[in-house]
Chains A and B, each alone.
Chain A
Amino acid sequence: MSQVKKATRHVNQNEGLIFEKSSPGKAAWRLPPLDVPEVDTADLLGEAERADLGHMPEVSEIEIIRHFTRLSTWNYAIDLGMYPLGSCTMKYNPRINEAVSRFEGLANGHPYQPERISLGALRILKTLTDCLLEITGMQAITLQPAAGAHGELTGILLVRAFLQKQGNPRKKILIPDSAHGTNPATAAMAGYAVENLKSNSAGMVDVASLAAQMNEDVAALMLTNPNTLGVFEQEIHKIADILHGKGGLLYMDGANMNALVGKVRPGDFGVDVMHLNLHKTFSTPHGGGGPGSGPVACKNFLEPFLPVPVIVTKADGTLGFDYNRPQSIGRVRAFYGNFGMHVRALAYIMANGPDGLRQTTEDAVLNANYIRKGLEGVYDLPYKTPTMHEVVFSDRVQAKKGVRTGDLAKRLIDYGFHPYTVSFPLIVPGAMMIEPTESESKEELDLFVDAMKSIAEECEKAPDVVLEAPHSTRVSRLDEVAAARKPVLRWKP
């Protein structure tokens, strides 16, 4: 166990709540003498005036700086080490993206500035849409949605608007049992009933069951490809044909697009509408560093329904926004989406170029397979189908010692890694879903494999070390059950 090199302790500065640091009268500011006539606030605000502001923390400037700096040491980030959170594609966010997005004209641009002085920003949006259409093989796109699930909802609303126009929006959406939970949530939000589609023993859509379940009540199938097992749906053409044969549409959840870019195009294998996660595949910040961005790409027959506005080339050759779109589903986001993310995604695409993006995909798949090879035999591999960009093990071997996927993940923290995704996809009991992304070197992957092997050894020799993990963090294992059953939501003095 001791030979594992990356057994780093996390830097964790103890720190209380900002409220607890407060002492009356302390402040980081002082106002100059009043040089305008005083106003009677009670007279102005009436009952809305508040004499007591409640518990506002009163601290000095250095105290507040230290407070947040110390809190920041509780974070784990891709800049500290590998972040193998499966399905989330936690890849490195290249600094060039940040440099470009801080260019003065971009950082200080305003969405209300007239179109004729926003042509640079419009050109960026247009170039990005062209690139994304080229990559996906689709025909039209909106950049508005603010994240993946928002993109899903937008996409399914396009499906509904199209079918409605045909005369019948239909009743249900088919969703495989390996899907992300956002898929059924999206279907329900768009007013559809959800019908579960069982996976076959290879972890793929069972084409025969799909054919049996498909009928004129089905609006669409929402499919993730590669799916959440990291398995490519090899019969995707047949799947698309079955859907189309009964007038249904094929929606692709683009969460796992990192396995496809530069290799295959959803538009070529029968997908009608899909979303992309710029914060996954295209290296824009993810999680707390967001916001996200979830563009929706579709085939031409769905184009009239895209959210307003869409970018158009005007008669004089300049770019502009078109708001006159009578069949549009309407706006889904203020302005034109999270522009800062569009800039970063385009910087990433252009810095890599087509060959670089293809290499990225190959490296992402290679890295996942390297981990699979390194850990096969140590951890149970429930589906033997070839792995794409992520690999799903299960805790079956370790469960015999009473150690479950959540325990193994907690122990991984002690080795200096962010945990993998636990207990998902749901079709694998005790799932351990690992996605290294292309960002990791062979050296870092070796450290990860060594750490996972060492943890497996601990399960045999000293399972308590794993069951009581993490040991190196500021607080030990949290009582997640009590937190969910009896949450304490408010600080009280």
Chain B
Amino acid sequence: MAYPKNFKYTKEHEWIKADGGTATVGITTYAQESLGDIVFVELPKVGAELSAGKSFGTVESVKAVSDLYAPASGTVTEVNQDLATAPEKINSDAHGSWMIKLKLKDPKELNALLSADDYEKFVAEETH
């Protein structure tokens, strides 16, 4: 499975793509696969303050409702409104369907996250 090299990943299966002081966040292909058909996404409002590791929303599939965890701290600058009416986009293209954009509080926080290779290894271990 191809995990973009320019993304960083969390063990909770979010990806984050940083561009200087801003970043884009979504969930991984592995996450959408485990969740199954996604039917609803609840995202924060623009201006919300997120802290790394804390829940910033939920994603609901036909199987379960799961928390979304912020990969890094920051302020929400944009929310992907398309997902409100078409959550299935996450199933068809998880790495292309971003959820929120952030103004990062400290871009160095990303250093603690997993690289594409590490994440792939982590997922392989989780699924044995």
Residues of A that sit less than 8 Å from B by CB: 181, 422-424, 426, 429, 480-481, 484-485
Contacts and interface: CB of A to CB of B under 8 A. Distances in A.
Nearest to B40: A484
A424 B63 CA distance: 9
A423 B62 CA distance: 10
Contact of A485 (B39, B63, B65): B39
Nearest to A405: B63
Contacts of B64: 181, 423-424, 426
Interface pairs A-B: 8 shortest CB-CB: A484-B39, A481-B37, A423-B63, A480-B62, A485-B39, A481-B62, A484-B62, A426-B64
B86 to A, nearest CB: 9
| B: contact size bracket | 10 to 19
B14 to A, nearest CB: 15
A423 B127 CA distance: 15
A456 B60 CA distance: 29
A429 B34 contact: yes
Contacts of B34: 429
Contacts of A485: 39-40, 87-88
Interface of B: 34, 37, 39-40, 60, 62-65, 87-88, 127
Given A429-B34, A429-B127, A481 B65 contact: no
Contacts of A429: 34, 127
Given A481-B37, A484-B40, A181 B62 contact: no
Contacts of A424: 64
Contacts of A481: 37, 39, 62, 88
Contacts of B62: 480-481, 484
Contact of A181 (B65, B87, B88): B65
| Max chain B Cβ within 10 angstroms of own Cβ: one of A181, A424, A481 | A481
Nearest to B54: A193
Contacts of B40: 484-485
Contacts of B37: 480-481, 484
Contacts of A480: 37, 62
7 contacts: A480-B37, A480-B62, A481-B62, A481-B88, A484-B37, A485-B39, A485-B87
Nearest to B12: A196
A377 B92 CA distance: 35
A181 B67 CA distance: 12
A31 to B, nearest CB: 48
Nearest to A487: B39
B127 to A, nearest CB: 7
A191 to B, nearest CB: 16
A423 B64 CA distance: 8
A423 B37 CA distance: 13
A125 B37 CA distance: 47
Nearest to B88: A485
Nearest to A480: B62
A424 B36 CA distance: 14
Contacts of B63: 422-423
B85 to A, nearest CB: 9
Given A484-B37, A484-B40, A485-B39, 7 more contacts: A181-B64, A423-B63, A480-B62, A481-B39, A481-B88, A484-B39, A485-B88
Contacts of A181: 64-65
Q: Which of B60, B63, B65, B87 has the most CB of A within 10 A?
A: B63
A39 B87 CA distance: 56
B20 to A, nearest CB: 32
Contacts of B87: 485
A486 to B, nearest CB: 9
A183 to B, nearest CB: 13
A429 B125 CA distance: 13
A355 B39 CA distance: 49
B113 to A, nearest CB: 18
Contacts of A423: 63-64
Nearest to A184: B67
A261 to B, nearest CB: 30
Nearest to B66: A426
A352 B127 CA distance: 45
B29 to A, nearest CB: 15
A429 B64 CA distance: 12
A480 B64 CA distance: 13
A160 to B, nearest CB: 21
B38 to A, nearest CB: 9
Contacts of B88: 481, 485
